[in-house]
Amino acid sequence: MSDTASPAIKKKLSCAIVGATGVAGQQFVEGLQGHPWFTITHLFASERSAGKVYKEAAVWHGEGSHPADIADMVVLSTDDIEREAANIDIFFSALPSETAREIEGRCAAFKPVISTAAAYRYDDDVPILIPEVNADHALLIRKQKERGWKGFVVPGSNCTTVGLAIALKPVMDNFGIKRVIMTSLQALSGAGYPGVASMDILDNVIPYIGKEEEKVKKELVKIIPGTYLVGATCTRVHVRDGHTETVTVETEKPCTPESFMAAVVGFNKKCREQFGPLPSAPNETIVLADGVNRPQPRLDRNTHNGMATVVGRIRTEDVFPNSISFVLLSHNTKRGAALGEILTAEYLYKQGYIA
């Protein structure tokens, strides 16, 4: 995280975390510690946790213990959102999808909502925003005023989609895409807590994750519009953090490993120019890994604080006329969750979408 705040930032935003006691909410808590633009002022959770201080309401799943500055903050009920909205600049939602649509809509009636949930992800007036990939989609936010909201909802993508979309952006911009075939090897943390039973995953690979493949296909063409085809196979492996994906891309124009890597260099340069001043932006959005045995989750998932997509094993593929294959790694609980959404909030604040 950069130490330099943009000169356009006049004051810190007061932020609320909705669903603060769960694992996803705790990731927002960790990601916002010491943030130069945002400060946590409100924590919301279910009635079961309301009225308790945070260290009593939330069983901490991160490293260490509850951050000292909010350990004794009282958790409010989601029923209190309307009463407190005037004192909040932005809501970060870590709600489960089954409750997110109703509660996020109530928040958006007053203020911007940045979410990890899928509840609004596929609505026509809602962008699935990854700033380096589709910043122009933020314009969709204006259409949400037609709902009668003073704010808006912007969800992030599924954690499996984000690294794939980032890696494919320079391909689409420089060579065009005809089809994508991806197989994921997804970390255990992507299943939430308590996740997959140890006796199911130990010494094993689970070759199916419910609804995951459908999400990847639907989200990718919304984030990077086009008429290309997407095939996806999503599996769960015995890795704690970091989604690894093997990708084959058929391109419209000839694409060699060398031309792809040159396109990545140009993409990174453009990202630094446009997003470099944002506190959570990585130094390189795509890191090209050295050696045929990289990327690896244990070695590479925390590259640039887990915000970079690491790409390696780039090679020509003979199965299609113009095609390359590569392996990518993306940190699912950082770039694919809270830290990625914090970066989105930074971008929207800098661009004036968040007052």
Residue 8 has pLDDT above 70, yes or no: no
Q: Catalytic residue among 15, 159, 234, 255, which?
A: 159
Q: Among residues 117, 35, 105, which one has the least CA distance to residue 70?
A: 35
Segment 205-213 shows an average pLDDT of 98
Average pLDDT over residues 130-147: 98
Q: Kindly state the greatest CA–CA separation across the chain.
A: 62
Q: Which residue among 35, 243, 304, 331 is the active-site one? A: 243
Please, what are the domains in the chain? 13-156+338-350 (3.40.50.720), 159-330 (3.30.360.10)
Annotate 199-267 with DSSP letters as a single string.
Answer: HHHTT--B---TTHHHHHHHHHHHHS-SS-EEEEEEEE-S-SS-EEEEEEEEESS---HHHHHHHHHHH
pLDDT, residue 5, reads: 43
Whether 311 shows a pLDDT value over 70: the answer reads yes
Please give the C-alpha separations between residue 245 and each of 160, 186, 187, 200, 212, in angstroms, as whole numbers.
8, 8, 11, 22, 13
Q: What is the pLDDT of residue 97?
A: 87
- Please write the tens of the pLDDT for every residue from 139-176: 999 999 999 999 999 999 999 999 999 999 999 999 99
pLDDT in tens, 230-274: 999 999 999 999 999 999 999 999 999 999 999 999 999 999 999
The CA distances from residue 315 to 162, 318, 320, 323, in Å, are: 22, 10, 13, 9
Section 283-292 average pLDDT = 96
The first and second tokens of residue 56, run together, are 């009593």
Say how many Å lie between the first and final Cα of the chain, rounded: 23
Question: Could you confirm whether 243 is annotated as catalytic?
Answer: yes
Residue 9: pLDDT band (50, 70, 90) is low
Instruction: Please report the pLDDT score of residue 10 as a whole number.
Output: 63
Residue 322 has pLDDT above 60, yes or no: yes
Mean pLDDT of the chain: 96
The model scores a pTM over 0.85: yes
Directed axis angle between helix 159-175 and helix 212-223, to 10°? 40
269: Cβ contacts below 8 Å, ≥ 6 apart: none
* Rounded (5°) CA angle 57-61-65: 75
Sign of CA dihedral 36, 55, 64, 16: negative
Give the mean pLDDT of 113-136. 98
- Does position 1 have pLDDT exceeding 90, yes or no? no
Please name the helix (run of DSSP H) or strand (run of DSSP E) that holds residue 183, with its range, or none: strand 177-186
* Mean pLDDT value of segment 2-19: 71
